[in-house]
Amino acid sequence: MKKGNIYEGIVEEIQFPNKGIVTYTEDGDTNRITVKGTLPGQKIEYRLTKKRKGKCEGRLMNVITASELEDRNPPCMHFGMCGGCTYQSMGYENQLKLKSELVKKLLDSVCSDYEYEGIIGSPQEFGYRNKMEFSFGDEYMNGPLALGMHKKDSFYDIVTTSECLIVNEDYNKVLCTVLDFFKENGTKYFHKMRHQGYLRHLLVRRAVTTGEMTVNIVTSTQDDMNLAPLTDRLLKLELNGKIAGITHIYNDSAADAVKCDRMEILYGQDFLYEEILGLKFKVSTFSFFQTNSLGAEKLYEKAREYIGDVENKTVFDLYSGTGTIAQVLAPVADKVVGVEIVEEAVEAARENAALNNLDNCRFIAGDVLKVIDEIEEKPDLIVLDPPRDGINPKALKKIIDFGVPRMVYVSCKPTSLVRDLAVLQEAGYRVLKACAVDMFPQTTGIETVCLLSKLNVKHHIEGN
């Protein structure tokens, strides 16, 4: 095999999240090539982009023959160009089957003698997202202004996703209104390499239960544009929901991320209210909140089932975010202590606990690694819901040293989960049950919930 050449092959397996494995044999020498964005059973054409001893990578050029899992025409007009969705050529049952198999394969690599409960599907296959970050740019170099998602495998080009299917149609109406306004005014987007221009992002949130929306226009400070006419247009839209607030966020950071140097409220407020499992949550512009509200109910119901009886018990909710899990448990627990490093999320958790009349929740701002040494209470059980990269090894050792009889681990990245499960099992814990929950239909994302029980063995962790 030669780098740069084009080859054909059958995708024999998929490794999470979307890494297809193709084998190529030449003169008795067999290579395994990783090709992203593929499905098992596809016959593909790929260009070899990397060849090193024991590691070959290719870039998908063309799908010659579809997979047996691809049982429908992609319903979204943007699919294929837009980098947001991966699985739309598969019906939802096949999506669930593939995701469940990927999770089980990873769990089986580190766990044995556990009960795998399969996968719980999202209540909504489409229109489920409650938050979208759209980018301004152009669809090709020096092309017309675009607003939407990045093109597949592109850092620069933007697809105007005016008919996106994974959001409520209200998002698409807002997107088109905002784009038309700036096109009419000849406004320039912020160029990521030159750091010149004005328009950066459009951040939209919409609560599923209340229908409240917040619209946030993110720009640099390189222009001084009157956005009152745009605000008037947005407020006149006929929507399924209702706009609760419109803001102008100023961001002069070099990074291509939604950040806030300063915020100006153009209309209403910078937050909305959402409801999950009978609890009310105030969600501000930059609050972390599960992006699938109805799916989150399924996730938290499963976590609550695994946690079991918490009457007269103290629960630690580590990496607690805005405290959703803590507040789901609080009505039936003696005390819940949440720890979260993002201060804004902690403030939101405290405010939401007060909103729900929960006085047995305490939320602490800080790094789990440092904070758990300072907490006076000792946990009877622990809930873990870390960010994508999993738990800091030093923090994991401290968590293990509490010696609680039961833990529930909620993970949004199964590869990080299995790394941490290996450590937990070496330290005397056993995985009893696990379940996947699909919060992100049409995409490769997946959540996993695991129940761990402490074995009656002496344990010790080597290392830091």
For 339-376, what is each residue's pLDDT tens digit?
999 888 899 999 999 999 999 999 999 999 999 999 99
Q: What is the 3-state secondary structure (H, E, C) of the chain?
A: CCCCCEEEEECCEEECCCEEEEEEEECCEEEEEEEECCCCCCEEEEEEEEEECCEEEEEEEEEEECCCCCCCCCCCCCECCECCCCCCCCCHHHHHHHHHHHHHHHHHCCCCCCEEEEEECCCCCCCCECEEEEEEEECCCCCCEEEEEEECCCCCCEECCCCCCCCCHHHHHHHHHHHHHHHHCCCCECECCCCECCEEEEEEEECCCCCEEEEEEEECCCCCCCCHHHHHHHHCCCCCCEEEEEEEEECCCCCCCCCCCEEEEEEECCEEEEEECCEEEEEECCCCCCCEHHHHHHHHHHHHHHHCCCCCCEEEEECCCCCHHHHHHHHHCCEEEEEECCHHHHHHHHHHHHHCCCCCEEEEECCHHHHCCCCCCCCCEEEECCCCCCCCHHHHHHHHHCCCCEEEEEECCHHHHHHHHHHHHHCCEEEEEEEEECCCCCCCCCEEEEEEEECCCCCCCCCC
Q: Does residue 269 surpass a pLDDT of 60?
A: yes
For residue 458, pLDDT over 70 is answered with no
Nearest to 56, CA basis, from 83, 29, 80: 29
Name the percent of the chain lying above pLDDT 70: 98
Instruction: Calculate mean pLDDT across residues 82-106.
Output: 96
pLDDT digits (tens, 9 = 90+) for 418-429: 999 999 999 999
pTM flag (> 0.85): yes
> Which tens digit of pLDDT belongs to each residue from 105-146?
999 999 999 999 999 999 999 999 999 999 999 988 888 999
pLDDT band at 61 (very low <50, low <70, confident <90, very high): very high
Q: How confident is residue 27, by pLDDT bands cut at 50, 70 and 90?
A: confident
Active-site hit among 85, 412, 435, 450? 412
Task: Enumerate residues 6+ apart whose C-beta is below 8 A from 129.
Answer: 166, 167, 291, 292
Q: What is the pLDDT of residue 43?
A: 97
Say whether pLDDT at 188 is over 70: yes
* pLDDT, mean of residues 152-169: 94
> Would you place residue 464 in the very low, low, confident or very high pLDDT band (cuts 50, 70, 90)?
very low
pLDDT at 461: 40
Share the mean pLDDT of the chain: 94
Confidence class for position 286, pLDDT limits 50, 70, 90: confident
- Residue from 307, 319, 336 nearest 432 by CA: 307
Q: Mean pLDDT across the stretch 424-452? A: 97
Position 463 scores a pLDDT of 40
For residue 88, is pLDDT > 90? yes
Amino acid 141: pLDDT: 85
| 412 a catalytic residue | yes
